[in-house]
Amino acid sequence: MLRYFRWMAITSLVIYLSGASSDFALAEISSDYGQINAINISHRGASGHAPEHTLQAYELGNAMNGDYIEIDLQMTKDGELIALHDETIDRTTERKGLVKNLTLKEIKKLDAGSWFNDAFPEKMSTEYLGLQIPTLREVLDRFGPDSKFFIETKSPEVYPGMEEKLINILNEYNLIGAHHTFGNVVVQSFSVESLRKVHEIDKSIPLVQLLSYYAPAVITDTEVSKIKEYAVGVGLHYTAVSPGYIKKVTDSGLMVFPYTVNEKEDMNMLLDWGVTGMFTNYPDRLNEVIQSRISKKP
């Protein structure tokens, strides 16, 4: 019964993709939506517990009841899409350099796990030693149609053709197109051009426009209207949002996905404010918050 309420949130994506207007009312999904429930997105996997963007982190995110796995995409010199947040390999491997200057063979020689043991000795595990950076295909091979994915096109201006490659792979795995399950894949980006390109190729893919704010978030009616031309939601840092911002955006029919929310106090606050979902390094914590609120429902 508790999981039932969680999946009501994800149903919102299904309703949009099955032909409803992007102006659908979130209240039609559940009268409790946003106060009890939220889509739980494992940020780079369960990256508070395991090395980010590794198969182990993704596996753990699913085990901790994350609804979606978030995958950041970079592209190698030989055109392979890989799961990595940064344009460089400096932070999460033993080497330095730009991804765009390295082949997949070179990428696969890197140790993408040991840094985590050094950074978080209290969470150290020998299982993390020598972990590889996975390709998008490897992630889909492992998790496939049994998981849901928030996929970000990172720095698409650096990687011409990234969007086409992504869509081709998603079609190959039947995650989009005629045979896919609606809502299994969401594509997000800070790049308007990248999202519009995806939208032009396949209008059935739900898109989330990521936004950067250096002050409390403010959005105009014109900005909302432009985003609604191609996207179903927005994502922004949780410290920038306010109850008024969330109400304005959700009243327009767009969803709101703050990032990166790691403390239960902030999770509860954002649920009180009515967010659609949130990115977290600790999907287990968010799951506990949601289940606690559901259990208290009259």
Indicate which residue of 49, 85, 180, 199 is catalytic: 85
Question: Is residue 163 a contact partner of residue 197, using CB atoms and an 8 Å limit?
Answer: yes
| 179 is known as an active-site residue | no
| Location of structure tokens 């900005």 | 223
Indicate which residue of 43, 49, 180, 199 is catalytic: 43
Residue of 247, 243, 240, 238 lying closest to 267 (CA atoms):
238
CA dist 187 and 257 (Å) reads: 13
Q: Locate the DSSP E strands across 180-228.
A: 185-189, 207-210
Residue 8 neighbours by CB distance under 10 Å: 15
3-state secondary structure of 92: coil
Helix boundaries (H) for 99-147: 104-107, 114-119, 136-143
CA dist 199 and 207 (Å) reads: 8
185 bridge partner residues: 149
Helix axes 283-295, 2-17, angle to 10 degrees: 110
DSSP strand pairing (207-210 vs 149-153) = unpaired
Q: How far is CA 231 from CA 157, 192, 194, 271, in A?
A: 19, 10, 12, 22
| 53 is known as an active-site residue | no
Cβ-proximal residues to 20 (8 Å cutoff; 6+ apart), any chain: none
Give catalytic residues, as residue numbers: 43, 85
